[in-house]
Amino acid sequence: MLKLLAAPALTTSYLALGQASNQPLLTKLHKPQDFFSAAAPAYNFEDPPLRPWHMKAAYQLYDLESKPTSQGTYEHCWVSPKVHRNSWNRPGAVHSDWHTADGKHAIHDEGSLEYFEYALQSSLLTPLPNQAELDPPNHRLERQDLKIGGIKLDCIKVIPKMPLNGHLQIVPLGLFPTYCFDEGSPILRIEYSWGSLGIEYNKIVKVQDHYLPREITIFGGKRKILTASVDVIEGITTSAPVLTPPPNATTVTTDKVQLTSEISNGMNLKTVVPIYPQDAKDAQVSGRVVLRGIIGPDGVVHDLQIVETPWPSLAASALWSVSQWHYKPYLLNGEPVEVETTFNVIYTLG
């Protein structure tokens, strides 16, 4: 069993937070970039020195009225950056993917998962923005303090340099991707994006000197989308059977194929029409939202990022819509592969 340094229990209600750690920092963080620089090593769960470990989480999905629907489990087994497995299991949908020492990638699917089920993996293991999202020529960082339930958080706004920015004298908190840390520390507590979506991280523990939330809530506005609790954190052997793909798993190439939106459009099997936000209508805003993301070998959309938007609520609306689109798997030499492409959502008044 891996050694855990548990934090004091935190409340599970929305945005009612407690401190994740009472250990003093040698140097208190102040500059926006310092938070990400200090946090990056502590959230790198592909760090080669990590000992083999296994995590299992139970999750709950909710409908549009925040009423519980399906329940499932997510498991992560890690031996090295080359050898690991992720799996989801709930009624009507099973997905597992294996990366093996010989460089192969195998998957097994029964039914289709939802976008936010896949998002649980990144929320637990890679919640911070990547370097491209912090690139100074295309983004700027802004710090703003936030108090929730008497607890002070240091929030860093990652503001993309879009034409929209010229219309905003002050960028509201959470309008663009925003990461809120415990005061002066690299412990991530809340993530906001596009004025609607959010992720709350609670009951932070230390796993091999890396921070892991044992409770997560993904929400959109006041609506719950997914809650999860990590029930198992333990060591595993490098020869654990779960690390070996079964005979019925499908081998896929690890390389992503770059496709234009015109080509990927021809693979579309299911499109969900976006809702035109009322605030955009009132402001007489129309135009195109451009997103970039991955279409997995199972045809489900992953890792969506906003590239361009004429208005924040249109970005949130487009993300909600595209996250539910489904595609025919793209075959390369007869094998399904991941596809990186762009998605265009057009909003027209009248």
Tens digit of pLDDT for each residue in 113-133? 888 998 899 999 999 988 777
| CA–CA distance, 299 with 326 (Å, rounded to integer) | 6
167 pLDDT band, cuts 50/70/90, is: low
Q: What would the DSSP string read from start to end of 215-283? A: EEEEEETTEEEEEEEEEEEEE--TT-GGGSPPTTPEEE-SSPEE--HHHHHTTEEE-PPPP--HHHHHT
pLDDT digits (tens, 9 = 90+) for 72-89: 999 999 999 999 999 999
Cβ atoms < 10 Å from Cβ of 31 = 11
Query: Lowest-pLDDT range, 117-126, 160-169, 214-223?
Result: 160-169
pLDDT score at 38: 92
Nearest to 212 by CA among 232, 227, 198: 232
Mean predicted lDDT score pLDDT of the chain: 84
Instruction: State yes or no: pLDDT of 6 exceeds 50.
Output: no
pLDDT digits (tens, 9 = 90+) for 262-294: 888 889 988 888 989 888 898 898 999 999 889
| Bridge partners for 191 per DSSP | 179, 199
pLDDT score at 162: 63
> If residue 153 lies in a helix (H) or strand (E), which one and from where to where?
strand 151-160
Instruction: State yes or no: pLDDT of 50 exceeds 80.
Output: yes
pLDDT score at 243: 95
Q: Token pair of 15, please?
A: 């945005």
| Over residues 133-150, mean pLDDT | 84
What's the first-to-final CA gap in the chain, in angstroms? 60
CA 192, 72, 343 angle in degrees (round to 5)? 45
| Over residues 4-9, mean pLDDT | 31
| Bridge partners for 293 per DSSP | 341
pLDDT greater at residue 255 or residue 86: 86
CA 153, 143, 35 angle in degrees (round to 5)? 70
pLDDT score at 21: 41
pLDDT score at 18: 36
Query: Lowest-pLDDT range, 165-169, 189-193, 271-275?
Result: 165-169
Query: Lowest-pLDDT range, 23-32, 61-70, 160-169?
Result: 160-169
pLDDT score at 201: 96
Domains of the chain, first to last: 4-24+36-136+191-243 (2.50.20), 253-347 (3.30.2420.10)
Instruction: State yes or no: pLDDT of 163 exceeds 80.
Output: no
